[in-house]
Amino acid sequence: MSKKNLLTIAEHVQKRLSETLHMDREYSDEEFNEAIEECVVKEMSNTYLNISEREKITEYVFNSTRRFDFLQPLLEDDEITEIMINGAENIFVEKNGRIEKLQIEKITEEKLYEIVQNMVSKVNRIVNESSPIVDLALPDGSRANIVLKPLAVNGPCITIRKFPKDRLTMEKLVSNETVSVELAELLKDLVINKNNILVSGGTSSGKTTLLNVLSENISKNERVITIEDSTELQISETENLVSLEVRNKNFEGGKEIDIRELVKTSLRMRPDRIIVGEVRDKAALDMIQALNTGHSGSMSTIHSNSAEDALLRLETMMLTAEVMPLEAIRRQIAAAINIVIHLERDSDLKRRVKKIIEICGVENGTIMTKELY
């Protein structure tokens, strides 16, 4: 049977399902699946379906009503690392480092809005025309960014960054040529010796992945506080771990709590190390000041074009938070950051550590650095 006919039958089953379910009752996934299968059997009085077709229809209806519709198979495909939706007619995925456009039938703007509301409801977030931007973590750990109209002119824009189900290790980074064996040992030593590390790079260069791998070398006896916009870090080796996530303002009157406030709060939680998922905007000042209060071995990431550019971006961010002499800012940065590790994505689509610099201090108002790699 053609895919088009299967979709039509699936829509009939979905209609039967809505008429069958009791709205005032909560169903487990297993009960929900059984209800769908019963509706499929009833639908077979009109059309013969083989076992494979019945399974496809059941899966389609389950995903469209209980999960994230057409996105669910994409989320479950381990070869896909990124999903990019630019309105209903332009859906792209990244597979093995290459971007390809998908042709998916019967996707409408209304359907995308339904999926978006399903996503945000699962994590107690809100997105609408008056608040059209939201970042969130999906149940499988993927990171999603959503932009709606009027900002997204062509309809809902959904960008989902997926993370490997199997945790990456330093050995895996060596095998995929992100780092060499010698560099891997250097990175381990930098973490063990409690250097404050800033990981820099462009979008999709592997900053968060490297931060996760570096955290493997943190002693289990240390208390680690992580601070993020939406949860991405997967720190599993540390037992004494506190994970903090920002909270957006909501209609119930909940106060917005940003990274700046979480950084200040973390200092009262007796941290040995503070890990900020990404430093940006005015929060840079609070992070740098926090690192200057004796929390050696802390780490963060920053978007930049080079290791040196990362320091310039930090300066700019700190100036937006407070007006102070540039030399004073540079002295704070030099005292707080020991190492900058820069990643890039090469033309062969592989992510590699390109440069490591050590901050040596400030001389004549300039931050002095030494290249370690």
* Structure letter (DSSP) for residue 257: B
Q: Does the structure show a pLDDT above 70 at 3? A: no
What confidence score (pLDDT) does residue 194 get?
95
Angle at 58 between CA 55 and CA 61, to 5 degrees: 150
pLDDT digits (tens, 9 = 90+) for 140-152: 888 899 999 999 9
Q: Distance from first CA to last CA of the chain, Å, rounded? A: 59
Cα(257)–Cα(87) distance, rounded to whole angstroms?
Answer: 31
Question: E strand or H helix at 340, and its extent?
Answer: strand 339-345
What confidence score (pLDDT) does residue 214 get?
94
pTM for the whole thing? Answer: 0.79
pLDDT confidence band for 254 (50 / 70 / 90): low
Residue type, 353: V
pLDDT digits (tens, 9 = 90+) for 179-236: 999 999 999 999 999 999 999 999 889 899 999 999 999 998 899 999 988 777 888 7
CATH 3.30.10.20 fits 71-161, yes or no: no
Among 238, 249, 42, 27, smallest CA distance to 128 is for 249
What confidence score (pLDDT) does residue 49 get?
80
When pLDDT is averaged across residues 246-262 and rounded to a whole number, the result is: 74
Domain ranges of the chain: 3-66, 71-161, 170-371
Fold for the domain defined by 170-371: Rossmann fold (3.40.50)
When pLDDT is averaged across residues 74-80 and rounded to a whole number, the result is: 91
Q: What DSSP assignment string belongs to 150-174?
A: TTSTTS-EEEEE---SSPP-HHHHH
Helix, strand, or coil (residue 301): strand
When pLDDT is averaged across residues 297-306 and rounded to a whole number, the result is: 94
Among 30, 57, 24, 59, smallest CA distance to 41 is for 57
When pLDDT is averaged across residues 326-336 and rounded to a whole number, the result is: 94
Give the length of the chain: 373
What confidence score (pLDDT) does residue 13 get?
77
